[in-house]
Structure 1
């Protein structure tokens, strides 16, 4: 995180603006819903520092995310926008908000399962079909349109779908 102190009203507004930027690979999600926006700090008049954690170290979308954040904040009066990558703590699919998970399913992408840090390990690794809700699905390919998704098919309704892999 950028700061341990409470955000200023301006930082809160800038976070809202930066967080509303759509993910370039999954435009159904905002960067806030994806959980990659880690911090916002105003460093002086017209100067802001944004911390962004990629979904994985080599994520090609980070450049587009950074450019989109810079454009939005420039359009709202910030002359100097610095977007920095923060690799620790690493991003996890647990960082996707409940709203983000809902939007993924609504868009036809099976959201990642949540991890319970102290809970029991699930005995089944079923993935629910976002079209019909069946858990009778099969893996077609470990990779889909992006490295963070796998291609699956529902045995019940026969529809193919992406599954956002758990990290």
Structure 2
């Protein structure tokens, strides 16, 4: 069967599809694998790639260029992410590293991988969902928002009415 790609509707946002294609078609898969070990400092169970922050990595004449997109403008964790990426690459033998932060296209929670969403829930943070919020502890949808801001500005604080546990909900952006 021949598929006319002009008539295919992607299941991912175009920017996320392009990000995944950059990784698949990269000439430096080893650099991507090195950066797979760099975790988000605020949710240390998911990598920068799984979070959707790591956009691209390339190497030319011994110089490595890393491209990151913050979850939101002013994210205080960006400096740590940049430094952690630089340290991981330097430790792997790449001393000449530049980390660029780009704001466009803007990051969206649609860039979170399914694996990242599962890891977040196991860590106790509810992943953004188009459906009702669910408690990551017991799975109940009987929850209430306590504050628009949780442990960080990108999360809201909720309480589960079923198990009485508080939890952060990663805001859908």
TM range (shorter): 0.7 to 0.9
TM-superposition CA deviations, 1:129-156 (whole Å, max 9, x none): 1111111100001101100111101111
Question: Is 2:173 the partner of 1:156?
Answer: no
**Root-mean-square deviation (Å):** 1.8
TM-score, structure 1 as length reference: 0.86
For residues 116 and 158 of structure 2, the distance between their equivalents in structure 1, rounded to whole angstroms, comes to 20
**Pairing 1:33–2:50 present:** yes
Counterpart CA distance in 1 for 2:93 and 2:99 is 16
Matched, 1:106 2:122: yes
Separation in 2 of the partners of 1:37 and 1:144?
Answer: 24
1:31-68, Cα deviation, whole Å (9 max, x unpaired): 11111000011121x21100000001111111111111
Following TM superposition, by how much is the alpha carbon of 1:19 offset from its aligned partner in structure 2, in angstroms?
2.9
Alignment match, 1:147 = 153
Match of 2:141 in 1: 135
Q: TM-score, normalised by structure 2?
A: 0.84
Residue of structure 2 aligned with 1:55, choices 51, 71, 96: 71
Shift in Å, 1:84:
0.1
Higher helix proportion: 2
Q: Secondary structure at the match of 2:133?
A: coil
> Which sections of structure 1, spanning at least 5 residues, go unmatched?
115-124
Tell me, what secondary structure is at the counterpart of 1:59?
coil
Aligned equivalent of 1:72: 88
Q: What per-residue deviation string (whole Å, max 9, x for no partner) do you get for residues 67-121 of structure 1?
A: 111111011111210000111111101111111000011111111115xxxxxxx
